[in-house]
Amino acid sequence: MNKNSKIGVFDSGLGGISVLYEIHKLMPNESIVYFGDSGNAPYGIKTKEEVVELSKRICDHLIEKEDVKAIVIACNTATSAAVDILRGQYNIPIIGMEPAIKPAITGTEGVIVVMATEMTLKEEKFNNLLYSFEEAHRIIKMPSPELVDVVENHMDDIEYIKKSISNYLDSISEHVEGIVLGCTHFIFLKDFIDEYYDHKVEIFDGNFGTASQLRNVLHTLELLSDETFEGEISIFNSRDSAFVEKSKNLYQYLRKREQDGHK
């Protein structure tokens, strides 16, 4: 491992492509290898032990086959279940995700909805964070496992996407001021959620914070690449080549979205 080794990024499927995109924007000269585990998605309905075992298997592959200098768990569910165990097992930096509760709290004053998988919402670390803010804000936890499948398999069906989002958000009777996207898959549904609320809610995610934390850790350890050219991006998926293509298409979707001026 050296400063010009790759950064490893993995997720339960396609959602972590949104984290990969933020990392590449922030550190364009870093080479990154992405592993999406769509063959075992979704993680959110598995046991904690299953998620830990799947995460270990991927980390072993990234370290042994790709010689990565750091690993980003681009999955809130896997972070909740496995980050402490992985940090104890491997001698390279392991960066996890954290739902953007704090930015949502400081950025809004009313009701906040946290959309995530069931495992993320049940984890002790997440609930301790939630408890510290609940007196000042009304926070609604919304398990949204079906939306992971929407991103994995139905991104070409606009009406299906809108109906799936409505099936969740229609159940909220209160006036919502903020949405926290507590699953990296949901970044790809951001515009649809924004449209559902007629562009009147603030939407928060933890992707930029994760990319920034990675950069800070690599800087501290003197592991930032000193290459002057743009780093390579390699994408793999445990399911099949069609999901590699889906991953690349989602990456291009984010690039076009940014070029069109979306935040």
**Residues within the annotated binding site?**
11-12, 43-44, 76-77, 184-185
198/58 Cα distance (integer angstroms)? 40
Name the token pair of 57.
């298997």
Catalytic residue among 20, 32, 62, 75: 75
Interatomic CA distance for residues 235 and 66, integer angstroms? 12
Tokens of 212: 């920034």
Closest by Cα among 214, 237, 238, 211 to 224: 214
Cα distance from N-terminal residue to C-terminal residue, the chain: 35
For the annotated binding site for substrate, the residues are 11-12, 43-44, 76-77, 184-185
Residue carrying the six token digits 């989602």 = 250
* Spatial separation of the C-alpha atoms in residues 35 and 56, rounded to whole Å: 13
Set 17, 183, 189, 254: catalytic member: 183
59 annotated active-site: no
Q: How far from the centroid of its chain's Cα atoms is residue 127's Cα?
A: 18
* Three-state DSSP string of 90-155: CCCCEECCCCCHHHHHHHCCCEEEEEECHHHHHCHHHHHHHHCCCCCCCEEEEECCHHHHHHHHCC
Catalytic residue positions, numbered: 75, 183
